[in-house]
Amino acid sequence: MTFRMEADGLEWLFNPLHQIVSWGASGAMVFGGVVPYIPQYRDIKRTQNAEGFSTYVCLVLLVANILRILFWFGRHFESPLLWQSIVMIFTMLLMLKLCTEVRVTNELNLKRRSFADFDLHYFWHWSKFTDYVQCVLAFTGVTGYITYLSLDSALFVETLGFLAVFTEAMLGVPQLYRNYQNRSTEGMSIKMVLMWTSGDTFKTVYFILNQAPFQFSICGLLQVLVDMAILLQVYLYTYYPQKPASHAAHPVSAKAL
């Protein structure tokens, strides 16, 4: 009888603790992905210079998270993952707004380009933030309509989910290739890579423990491998340099090129 009372007492203690930990993990999942962009945003705002951040990062993350939200309509997954996508979309739109304003301000002679020009040579290099919004809305409308027509197809839904997470998983590949071409990681922020690695590791563990769709876990592991490969490049090119180091370097985001 005493043992049972002690067990009930422990259960009364651990249940709220488990709930708090669960809420904390969900909160970290929702907002953790945008944390690395906060110092990047503040730096651009302070210096009025957006050259160190590629807006193609915003493009990749917008596409990936829009597709993930559409995937949710075909196969529901954890709510924190859905909210993570919504928060990331708003974050990338804020980054785009700031970068566009700074670029236009610094380049007074910049010829105005718009989404309505339909000029592939200047795709994602437009002069107004509203052009990016129009592009995002057009992409969402087209893919949303196709998804609506194809929700009954399990193959389409699973492919959509794979494309969403695979697109995001490939975010670090351009930086990996750039380091390989330059035989150096000079100019790349190691702190940013470490933040991405820890965040991607946490995210992948979260996917596995919460039994998220298999696409999430596989691409999460792939994302961690890409991050680890970049860190390996840091080690190799630091201790086994393959070209003379230059003195002028600006730290930029590891996934911003």
Residues 217 and 125 in one domain: no
pLDDT score at 47: 81
Tell me: pLDDT of 185 over 60. yes
CATH of residue 183: 1.20.1280
In a domain, 143, yes or no: yes
In a domain, 1, yes or no: no
Q: Which of 23-27, 68-72, 240-244 has the lowest mean pLDDT?
A: 240-244
Contacts of 99 (CB under 8 A, 6+ apart): 44, 50, 53, 55, 58
Residues 44 and 116 in one domain: yes
Tell me: pLDDT of 148 over 90. yes
CA angle, corner 23, sides to 21 and 24, nearest 5?
A: 60
* pTM score above 0.85: no
Domain count for the chain: 2
Contacts of 30 (CB under 8 A, 6+ apart): 80, 83, 84, 87
Residues 231 and 212 in one domain: yes
Residues 98 and 49 in one domain: yes
In a domain, 4, yes or no: no
**How large is the average pLDDT for residues 213-227?**
83
In a domain, 256, yes or no: no
In a domain, 77, yes or no: yes
Mean pLDDT for the chain overall: 80
Residues 17 and 117 in one domain: yes
Q: Which of 6-10, 209-213, 241-245 has the lowest mean pLDDT?
A: 6-10
Residues 202 and 232 in one domain: yes
Residue 215's domain spans which residues? Answer: 171-240
For residues 157 and 74, the answer to whether their CB atoms sit within 8 Å is yes
Residues 199 and 180 in one domain: yes
Residues 159 and 181 in one domain: no
Residues 74 and 130 in one domain: yes
In a domain, 250, yes or no: no
Residues 227 and 118 in one domain: no
Residues 40 and 158 in one domain: yes
Residues 188 and 159 in one domain: no
Place of tokens 């110092």: 39
In the DSSP assignment, the letter for residue 107 is: -
Tokens representing 143 are 């893919």
In a domain, 254, yes or no: no
